[in-house]
Structure 1
Amino acid sequence: MFYLRLVRGYRVLDLGRWLLTAMTAAVVAVFLLRALGRALSDPPGAPATLERLLWCLPPLLAIAWFSAIAARALPAQRPERMAGLTAAGAGPRWIRLLIAGELALACALGAVATLLLFLVLRNDIAGPTLAPELGMGVPLPPAAPVALLALLPLAGGLAAALAVRPGERLPGSEEPDRAQRFGPLHTTVAVLLTLGGVFTELYALRPAAAYDPRTLGLPADLGRTNAALLGGWAVAALGLALLTGPLLAGLGRLLALGRPSPRRLLAGRGLTSAARPLSAPLAVLGFTVAVVLTSIRHWVAPGASGTGWLPAAEALLVTGCVVAAVLARLAELRTLRRPGNAALLRLGASPRLLFGAALLRWAAAGGVVLATGALTSVLGAGLLT
């Protein structure tokens, strides 16, 4: 009943986030129940059963990631709701649990909707094409779908509960804000990982290694590779992801270097202050888009064997969750920037100046994502050659 009372005060953004979480959970539940249906239809001990369950991990991670970003954005976007809960006696830990429960409830409702559709289709409604996917003709163990679908609210709620750490400021909390700078150790590790991964893959792609055995099979019909290529690409991708934040902060300082114009100064200071909260979502976005584009390029290449609908559907779902997480983080930062923008307007700054600074800030952040994502994609293309 408490969450139903909260729904009465939902705005369009709140309702959209809640419905998007429920719809994403419903799609992930389709993948889980399909794996269950195929496991019921296949003979006992079929090797593809574990592979289908492993294919469900990326969507689960995607919905957990989106739930975490949405949970972190909610206190900043709805301070009046947080203040009301604080006035009612809810402390910071209880508020975090309420936010996690709200997202877990959305995941649970999406999973229940898919389960009802699954049970209806199993009632001799689905045709012969869907019969193997639903496990028709085989008794359904009651605990199996419940155990699988319980993963959705568990993943969403746990990620949301862990997303807002106790050291961050919430209504009723007196902990100081975290430092927004990237230390030299972080930058050095990121650069070393990137260079080490690039050199490892270049060594594995030397002309003398053209006939090295490729013993590792990649999923989604992406061919075969060897440990040096895969390890080099993975290390370089991790290094580029860790390097996204320092690049954002460094580019912000570069914009404000010297005697900048007011537009450059506002854009540079804003990008530097937003580097840490933007680094993780933009790094995940660049990595995801690079992997998806590299896979699509391999699938549509001449002579490629093609792939089924499952990898394409999962790529679309994961990309959608990552883009939604980035938009949620941008909305959070926009809310936090409103008091400063209002003060600048009162001091005489023109809206055109603020809009130009925002455009410059977005262009700089987009350039960083394009640079890291393009290098990840190029290394991935070398991995699949």
Structure 2
Amino acid sequence: MLALRLSRGSHPLVLLRRLLLAAASAGVGFLLLCTLSYAVTGPHPADPAAQRLAWCLAPLAATVQLAVAVARTDPGTRPRQGLSAVGLGPVRMSALAAASTAVSAVLGSAVALLFFLHLRGDLSGTPFDGDAAELLAAGEPLPLGAVLLLLALVPVLGAGAAALAFRPPRRRTGEPPGDEPEHSTEAPTGLPWGVALTAVGVAVEAYTARGTEGTGGTPGGVLAGWTLTAVGLAMAGPGIVHLCGRVLQSVRPGAMRLLAGRALMDDARRIGRPLGVVCAVVSAVIAASALAGERPQPFGPLTALGAMLVAACTTATLLTSAVEARQDRAATRAGLLELGAPAALLQATALLRAVVLLAVFAPLTWAVAELAALPLRH
């Protein structure tokens, strides 16, 4: 009940982010139901249903990532002083974040079910009733347990991930609450592993694409390679952002470079991971454009819907993480303004951070895409 009351009284931008999560949940639920309808029509040796289900994992993972980002920027679930005294400690706040995420995701899953039944023709008297009856296997009954299980994936996984994101950190022996810093400027340790995973993923993508050149199928090896690439870039992203901040502060920096570099180091873990995932998605889009030029009609409508969901969710996650970083820097920004720092300096600092990240990640994205698409041009 508390989660519903907080949802009703939230700021319009907060409600917009929750609606985006509901829309993403609806898209993933619809894709999963379409895969189920394809599976019940019989065995498909050329295009197994399990392979189609595997292609739904990328939109599912992107939606869960968006759910965590939305929960972290929700004012109703952010930890504040004095809440423990009224019974809203870290555990209760974690449960509240999970409940709020589940409400939005369940709403999206319900919309997906209604839209799916509508296109199958099971709901009569509505526009476009049964227009996709043949595609969605209208003549075949769907197992109720499988439908409920698939529709529950986003709410359960999203709520669980949101609860884990709000889990209080473990304290060392003898360390009272408040000793640990909110942000750490230590260099993330995942950069070497991220580079290695990215290289392996690009190699797998290139090898698989070369092995299926001239065919119309979309092999599971391409998905496996892209997944490794995305995980590698997500692991390497924080280290790259941290390194950008350190380089920006080197060689006799001024006030603007000092502020921009320190902010990048503080936010390396927060924005580095979603930035790395966006880099992987954009590189996949560039490589897919090369694939589309080599093969006639390589992608169907459901594949395009899944790609749109991944692109939209990852972009929304990055923007939401940037909003979270801005919220956490609000006190620092107010303090600098009180000390007499001009507002133009702070705006120029934010612009410098964006330019540096774009200058680093844009060539990286292009390089990964070119390496992945290189076998398709031969």
TM-score (norm 2): 0.83
Contact 1:221–1:306, Cα closer than 8 Å, also in 2 = yes
List aligned pairs for 1:67-146, cutoff 5 A: 67-74=67-74, 77=75, 82-83=80-81, 85-120=83-118, 121-123=121-123, 129-146=131-148
Aligned CA distance change for structure 1 residues 255 and 213 (closer, same or farther; 3 Å): closer
Contact 2:68–2:162, Cα closer than 8 Å, also in 1 = yes
Work out whether 1:176 is the aligned partner of 2:174. Answer: no
Work out whether 1:272 is the aligned partner of 2:248. Answer: no
2:134 is paired with a residue whose SS is helix
Which residue of 2 is the match for residue 331 of structure 1? 323
Aligned CA distance change for structure 1 residues 195 and 223 (closer, same or farther; 3 Å): closer
For these two proteins, the number of residue pairs brought into alignment is: 365
Pairwise CA RMSD: 3.5
* CA drift at 1:53: 2.0
* Consecutive unaligned residues in structure 2, runs of 5 or more: none
* Consecutive unaligned residues in structure 1, runs of 5 or more: 206-211
* CA drift at 1:316: 0.9
| Structure 2 Cα separation of the partners of residues 375 and 214 of structure 1 | 18
Aligned CA distance change for structure 1 residues 218 and 269 (closer, same or farther; 3 Å): farther
Contact 2:233–2:273, Cα closer than 8 Å, also in 1 = no
- Matched to 2:346, the amino acid is L
* CA drift at 1:128: 6.5
* CA drift at 1:114: 2.1
Contact 1:251–1:364, Cα closer than 8 Å, also in 2 = yes
Aligned CA distance change for structure 1 residues 165 and 217 (closer, same or farther; 3 Å): farther
2:135 is paired with a residue whose SS is helix
* CA drift at 1:311: 1.6
| Structure 1 Cα separation of the partners of residues 323 and 214 of structure 2 | 37
Which residue of 2 is the match for residue 209 of structure 1? none
Contact 1:240–1:376, Cα closer than 8 Å, also in 2 = no
* CA drift at 1:290: 0.7
| Structure 1 Cα separation of the partners of residues 146 and 78 of structure 2 | 42
- Matched to 1:278, the amino acid is I
Work out whether 1:312 is the aligned partner of 2:317. Answer: no
* CA drift at 1:270: 1.4
Which residue of 2 is the match for residue 208 of structure 1? none
| Structure 2 Cα separation of the partners of residues 66 and 107 of structure 1 | 11
* CA drift at 1:242: 3.3
Which residue of 2 is the match for residue 5 of structure 1? 5
Give 1:244's match in structure 2, choosing from 233, 237, 243. 237
| Structure 1 Cα separation of the partners of residues 220 and 136 of structure 2 | 31
| Structure 1 Cα separation of the partners of residues 375 and 17 of structure 2 | 37
| Structure 2 Cα separation of the partners of residues 220 and 157 of structure 1 | 38
- Matched to 1:115, the amino acid is L
| Structure 2 Cα separation of the partners of residues 316 and 11 of structure 1 | 27
Which residue of 1 is the match for residue 344 of structure 2? 352
Which residue of 1 is the match for residue 150 of structure 2? 148
Which residue of 2 is the match for residue 371 of structure 1? 363
Contact 1:100–1:160, Cα closer than 8 Å, also in 2 = yes
Contact 1:85–1:95, Cα closer than 8 Å, also in 2 = no
- Matched to 2:237, the amino acid is T
Contact 1:221–1:307, Cα closer than 8 Å, also in 2 = no
Which residue of 2 is the match for residue 32 of structure 1? 32
- Matched to 2:57, the amino acid is L
Give 1:293's match in structure 2, choosing from 286, 290, 295. 286
What per-residue deviation string (whole Å, max 9, x for no partner) do you get for residues 227-264 of structure 1? xxx87x87776555433322222221222223222222
Q: Percent identity?
A: 34
1:166 is paired with a residue whose SS is coil
Aligned CA distance change for structure 1 residues 14 and 368 (closer, same or farther; 3 Å): same
1:131 is paired with a residue whose SS is coil
Aligned CA distance change for structure 1 residues 289 and 236 (closer, same or farther; 3 Å): closer
* CA drift at 1:362: 1.0
What per-residue deviation string (whole Å, max 9, x for no partner) do you get for residues 35-87 of structure 1? 222233x23x334322232222111111111112222333xx55787557534
| Structure 2 Cα separation of the partners of residues 218 and 332 of structure 1 | 45
- Matched to 1:143, the amino acid is G
- Matched to 2:97, the amino acid is I
Which residue of 2 is the match for residue 283 of structure 1? 276
| Structure 1 Cα separation of the partners of residues 55 and 201 of structure 2 | 26
* CA drift at 1:111: 0.7
* CA drift at 1:304: 3.8
Which residue of 2 is the match for residue 16 of structure 1? 16
2:274 is paired with a residue whose SS is helix
TM-score (norm 1): 0.82
Aligned CA distance change for structure 1 residues 140 and 310 (closer, same or farther; 3 Å): closer
Contact 1:224–1:384, Cα closer than 8 Å, also in 2 = no
* CA drift at 1:268: 1.6
* CA drift at 1:189: 4.0
